Amino acid sequence: MKQELINKAAKILWDAWRTGQTISELPKDCRPTNRQNAYDIQTRIADLSQSTQIGWKIAATSENGQKHIGASGPLAGRLLANRAKFSGDHLTLGANLMAVAEAEYCFRLGSDLPVRETAYSMEEVLNAVDTLHSAIEIPDSRYLDFITAGEPQLIADNACASWFVLGPPTTADWRNIDLQKHTVQVLVNATVVAEGLGSNVLGDPRIALTWIANELRHEGIGLKSGEIITTGTCVLPFAIKQADHIMLDFGQIGQVNVTLK
């Protein structure tokens, strides 16, 4: 795809982000048809945002989630500083078509995972991790019908990114915890509304982390020390609305919460 068409698609999507509006789909002449073009558009959106990139997100890490949006596998998106909060903060939800939140394991890297020809193993990726955090993701889409938009358009739309809330680093010995079997509980306004397991995230959040290192490697993108990677929801996305207080309890790993103004 020519750069001028990448720029055109990115501007359309960024304008929708900025104004809180939705579009039916990208015009045919600048609609991506493969992952490479989609990631190119996503990169340009990050440029237009004029925000620092703080890391990455993974969408569609469950089989049900992939079927729901017609994706062949997970999707990677960028986390931007101007759309990130910390546990205990308030945020204004604004226009949000999806109106759901997700409970996620988030890893902060302590060393780089640069682009290379050979795939990274899980052991190599975990050796690059510094800290583990609990996190809340509040996704959204700029497409009115995101279910039928298709994989390339969803990647171009930053893999349905919107708001992200980072919890504190855990003090638990997380490397010796079986994240696959670890339970997470969701409370909205002090009422338990959902529970889930780490196995809902591609079988294990550590598998998801390894996936994104290799997905981006194929696109010529390396992961950098200090970046955070949130690995996808371990519960079914749960409904939210203005004024809700959301709290996720990851047991010994810790808690994360946010209030929607």
Burial (0-12, 13-18, 19+ Cβ within 10 Å), 85: middle
pLDDT(70) > 90: no
- Residue 47 pLDDT class (50, 70, 90 cuts): very high
- Using an 8 Å Cβ cutoff, are 36 and 219 in contact? yes
CA–CA distance, 261 with 241 (Å, rounded to integer): 9
User: Taking Cα atoms as reference points, which of 230, 254, 247, 234 lies closest to residue 193?
Assistant: 247
Mean pLDDT of 129-156: 97
- Tokens of residue 93, six digits: 């939800």
Mean pLDDT of the chain: 97
- In the chain, what percentage of residues exceed pLDDT 90? 95
pLDDT one-digit tens code per residue, 206-221: 999 999 999 999 999 9
Confidence at residue 68, expressed as pLDDT on a 0 to 100 scale: 86
Strand order in the sheet with 191-197: 90-91, 255-260, 245-249, 183-188, 191-197
- Using an 8 Å Cβ cutoff, are 68 and 145 in contact? no
Query: What is the maximum alpha-carbon separation in the chain?
Result: 51
Mean pLDDT of 181-209: 98
pLDDT(114) > 90: yes
For the chain, domains (ranges, CATH) are 3-260 (3.90.850.10)
pLDDT(64) > 90: no
